[in-house]
Amino acid sequence: MQLVSFSFCNGLRVTNIRLKDSADKHMSVFECSQVQVHNVTVMAPGNSPNTDGITMGASDHVRISSCNIHSGDDCVSILTGTTDVNVTDVTCGPGHGISVGSLGGASEKPALVERITVSNCNFFNTMTGVRIKSWQGGRGKANTFLFRNLNMTQVRYPIDIDQFYCPQGNCPKREGGVAITDARFINIRGTSSEQEAIQILCSKSVPCHGIFLHNVDLSWANHTAPTKAKILNAQGSIAGTVKPQVRFRGL
């Protein structure tokens, strides 16, 4: 049960509130348009499952700004049917980061998420920084992402695209997937808690296209060894300095 839930709203404004220790998601926004969420604080233990900070689905033109979110799940979760989202000046951690998805679940219609911007955010001790996650065998598309000016502090996977999302393990292999295209990662700096700081894992049947990294500098916290990137079935390009080294292969 969500602590605060908004459905079928137009012109929604949520400002200057504090949410604490929900048994489930703290705030949900469903089938809303022209939404502004500003100066909201969410507090929950890092080991509390499913306590997303702000979750939205089937909504458009959503702006989230100047929020401070500590949770046991996603700080911000962007679900299918959501378009034109701007997340800025959010502090996230602990938690699972700012996530798109999961998309393409078994009972879900073809997924659609597009025109998502995440900028000027800080992540502390989170599972991921920014993430796009989808299930094998899903359908639909997720496109036009801009992740810019992000600071990471001991984040396990600061950049994560995962078309094999399977939180419980032992998921059956399926053909197809949600098509992920046009994702730009610009000016992302800080430290990872794992050596593999970047994961871009896409399916052979529906590869990722249009991945762009520019001025990315991620070090392995408390280690001198360089960070690494794991790239699978993804087409993209880089510009400026990108650390760890990323190699896209022709598809």
d(CA 167, CA 191): 24
Gap between the Cα atoms of 173 and 166, Å rounded: 11
Are residues 64 and 89 in contact, defined by beta-carbon separation less than 8 angstroms? no
Please confirm, yes or no, whether 26 is among the known catalytic residues.
no
pLDDT at 13: 99
Whose tokens are 């996230």? That residue is 92
Token pair for residue 154?
């001991």
Handedness of CA 4, 134, 87, 68 (dihedral sign): positive
Strand intervals (E) in 21-110: 27-30, 33-43, 54-57, 60-70, 76-78, 82-92, 98-103
Q: Distance (Å, rounded) from C-alpha 234 to C-alpha 251? A: 7
pLDDT at position 93, please? 98
CA distances from 102 to 1, 10, 120, 194, 221 (A): 19, 25, 23, 23, 28
The Cα 84–Cα 62 span in angstroms is 7
Residue 251 has pLDDT above 70, yes or no: no
* 189/93 Cα distance (integer angstroms): 16
Q: Is 107 helix (H, G, I), strand (E, B) or coil?
A: coil
The one catalytic residue in 96, 209, 214, 223 is 96
Over residues 29-69, the pLDDT tens digits come to 999 999 999 999 999 999 999 999 999 999 999 999 999 99
DSSP class of 227: P
pTM of the model: 0.96
Q: What is the mean pLDDT of the chain?
A: 96
Number of helical H runs and strand E runs in the chain: 0, 18
| pLDDT tens string 167-204 | 877 887 877 789 999 999 999 999 999 999 999 999 99
Q: Which CATH entry fits the domain spanning 15-243: 3.20.20.70, 2.160.20.10, 1.10.3470.10, 2.40.440.10?
A: 2.160.20.10
pLDDT band at 162 (very low <50, low <70, confident <90, very high): very high
Domains of the chain, residue spans: 15-243
